[in-house]
Structures are given as structure tokens and as C-alpha cells.
Structure 1
Amino acid sequence: MHAEDKSTYPPLNTLKAVAEDVWIIDGPSIRFGWGCIKFPFSTRATILRLAGDALLVHSPTPLVPTLAAAIGKIGTPRWIVGPNRLHYWWIGEWHAAYPDAAIYLAPKVQRQAGARLDFAWQPLERDRGYPWDDRIATLPVSGGFMTEVELFHRPSRTLVLTDLIENFETGKLETRAMRFWTRLGGVRDPDGG
């Protein structure tokens, strides 16, 4: 296993049921940081099924053919959500595969993504007024660095967060620096925050 793979949760690019009408997809790690200092972070999408076969895709990961086939068996993506300014990397790929799905972006996502998101999208910045309101509660949480939009799937009582709460497992951190920063930041397992 490569050092970068240490931060992921295999099997990757596979639907994993976590509750009725709720799946996660663990994706590859991406490198994020400042300047020349970059650390690997695992990626994860969440899929919520609403009435009929309508799917909401939250923070998409790469859309490989086997994953697209599995998604086709559970429904059709109708909404693709970029919940904060760090979770947009594969939205364009999903938009290309599902051009009828509406794209919703949290504040500053499009500015951060630039040309990667050069198609029509709708703002995700309020707590209601979305096509999924009857089954999913939406809550924007504003912060100094970014606004993150949280979702609560009422039927399964599943709360979908992105970076509001982090809980890094020490064994998945590849460097001493990463272990130091996660401890200093108070986001290390078992007491993430």
C-alpha cells in the first residue's frame, strides 16, 4: 500500500449502505495544505434517496464505471451538492454524467473551484426552499474560513457533516507533522471536534 493510501477507507468507489436510503462512498485521498506543505485527506460522498428514485449526492467522489452502474440500481442523481469550499473536486465529472441533475454550491465554492465549475449552479446558502425540504433539513453554518452546509435526512435520522466535525484516526496519519497538527487542532480520534 502506498503511503497516500493509508488515509483511505477501502473498498473505494463503492456504495456502502449505512441506513435505509443512505449510502456513503469512500474515495481516494487528496492532498491539501498551504504552499509546499500538503497532507493527504480521505474523501467521502454521501447519497440520500428521496421519494421514488431521486438521489441527492453530497460531496461527490470520483465517478468510476462500476460506481455509476451501482448508482443506477438505486436511483437517479437529481441534485449534486458542494457543501463547502473544499468539497467540489469531482462535481464537474458528476455533472457531465448526470446533466439533468441540479448543482447546488455552498458559498465560495465556485470562487474556489474557478473553471472546474463552469456550468449553471444554484446557491446553497439558506435553510429552506430546496426541492428536498420535505425529507432533508438544510442548515448553513457560517465560519471565518468557510460556510458549510449540513444536511439532516429525516427518515433515517442521519446527520451529514463534512468538515464541521473532524476525527482523524492516529493510525491513518502518515506523518508526525499531521499527528501534531490534528492533536493541536483538537480533531484527533477519539475526541475529534
Structure 2
Amino acid sequence: MTSLIPLGHDLWTVEGAPIRGAGGFDFPTRMCIARLTDGSLWVHSPIALNASLTSEIAGLGPVRHLVAPNDLHHRFLADWAAAYPDARIYAAPGVAQKSPGVVVDEGLEPESPAIWADLFQQVIFDGNMITTEVVFFHHPSGTLIFTDLLQQMPSGWYKGWRATVARADLMTGDYPSVPRKFRIAFRNRRAMRAAIAKLRRLPVQKIVMAHGPVVETNAAKVLDTAFAWAR
């Protein structure tokens, strides 16, 4: 059974194994893969690599672009760089410092690199004390791709005191939400609202989160509700 879940228009998502974070909090993982116009593959927030996944990817095309969208999602970057030495690494601020064995070829900027500018728009959420996150919008499929800024943990994912903390932090709930710690950590509120405004202008049809389910219905409304607190 394939682990690649098609999102349409040469875009796929893959669910990975949970990873252990600070305080013993486990997080579900998810990455995205896109085939660019030249046939090369773009890999967003790489998850743990294994032989089965490597085989499936080989059927899609050559991996040429590895994307670390914030400095919290770099754990498997070195493994992917070793497996795909011809791939260029694109990273958000802070990734290079946390991955000393990885050579970052290009920092992620407000403007998309020419190689994927026809397919992706990127919006940078900086001025956050936890991390700077780059959000991507895949034009052909109308898919908005988040990493940590938007989350929705599965029902019952945490137990005991961790469940209480996660609920208070807005990590769990009926709808995707910006965790409370990220809301508080924004120091440049004007830049934050400008970035949110850019997202709201996009024709969003789907939403993908590294830590949550794929949203395939009423995505624009889900996005608006998730950021209503920022008004």
C-alpha cells in the first residue's frame, strides 16, 4: 500500500512516524512532495526516510530540492541530504545553526526561487520568538502548506497532564488552530497581520499541516477562523 497521498496537480503528502519533542510531547509528522515543472521533486519538511519511501519517491522523479520551513523541522534533513547528494537545501532562518552538518544552499526569502516560482508562493511569518516559519501556497492545487504555525492533534493523542497542557495551548480541538504559545511569541504584530492578510488573499482549497489532518473542505473558512484572534 502506498504511503503517498495525492493532493492533485503533482502534489503529494506523506504521514510519518511520531517524534518526541520537549517535555515528552509526541508529535505526528507529515511532509509534502511536489513535482516541479522541470520534473524534479521538491520535498517540504522531510520526515524519517526508509527504504519503502525511497522506492516510492524514485517512481516520481529525482529529488533536487529539500525545504526546511522553520528551525524546528530539521531533524531528518541530514539523512535526506546524504541520500540525495544532488539536492539543494533551502532553509528558514536558524536551520543552519541547528544543523551544523548540513550545508544550506539558499535561505528562504519572501520571493520564491525561480525554479519553483511558477508553482509556489511563499509567505514568511517572522518576528516570532519561537521560530520563523515560511508558509507555502501551491497554486495548481490551491493547497496551503503549514508546518507548526497551524496544528490540530488527533483526538486522544495526549493523556493525563499532557492532554491538559495541549488543550490549554490550543493544540487540540475540533478545528485547526494557532497554538497559544505561538500567538504570544509574536513580537512584530504588524508584520504578523501583513502575513495573515497575504494568506487570506489566496484562493485556498486545501490546507496541509505537519501536525494535523489534511483539510479538504471549507479550507478558506478554516483558515479565517484559525487566525480570527489576530484581528
Q: TM-score, normalised by structure 2?
A: 0.71
Query: Could you tell me how far apart the structure 1 residues matched to 2:160 and 2:73 are?
Result: 25
| Cα displacement string for residues 67-125 of structure 1 (whole angstroms, at most 9, x for unaligned residues) | 1111111111111000111111111111112111110110111222334x2x3421113
More divergent stretch after superposition (152-161 vs 181-190)? 181-190
Give the whole-Å Cα distance in 2 for the aligned partners of 1:192 and 1:73: 32
Residues of 2 paired with 1:170 and 1:15: CA distance?
Answer: 23
Asked if the contact 1:169–1:190 (Cα under 8 Å) also holds between the matched residues in 2, the reply is no
Match of 1:32 among 18, 21, 26: 21
Aligned to 1:150: 135
Does structure 1 conserve the Cα–Cα contact (< 8 Å) formed by 2:90 and 2:104?
A: no
For residue 133 of structure 1, report the CA deviation from its aligned partner. 0.7
**Which whole-Å deviations, capped at 9, do the CAs of 1:8-38 have from their partners, x for residues lacking one?**
xxx8x922212231111111111111xxx22
The 8 Å contact of residues 64 and 87 in structure 2, kept in 1 or not, is answered as yes
Q: Which residue does the alignment assign to 2:121?
A: 137
Q: 1:41-190 alignment to 2 at 5 Å?
A: 41-115=27-101, 117=102, 119-142=103-126, 143-173=128-158, 175-190=159-174
Counterpart of 2:3 in structure 1 is 14
Q: Is the CA contact (8 Å cut-off) linking 1:57 and 1:80 kept in structure 2? A: yes
Asked if structure 1 preserves the Cα contact closer than 8 Å seen for 2:112 and 2:120, the reply is no
Shift of 1:130: 4.1
Q: Verify the 8 A CA contact 1:16 1:25 in the aligned structure 2.
A: yes
Amino acid at match of 2:82: A
Structure 1 CA distance for aligned equivalents of residues 141 and 133 of structure 2:
21
8 Å contact from structure 2 (residues 40, 61) kept in 1:
yes
What RMSD, in angstroms, separates the aligned Cα atoms of the two structures? 1.8
| Contact residue 107 and residue 125 of structure 1 kept, 8 A | no
Which ranges in structure 1 are unaligned for 5 or more consecutive residues? 1-10
From the superposition, tell whether residues 185 and 120 of structure 1 become closer, same or farther in structure 2 (CA, over 3 Å).
closer
Q: Rate the CA distance shift 1:130–1:180 in 2: closer, same or farther, 3 A.
A: farther
Q: 1:178 to 1:100 in 2, by over 3 A?
A: same
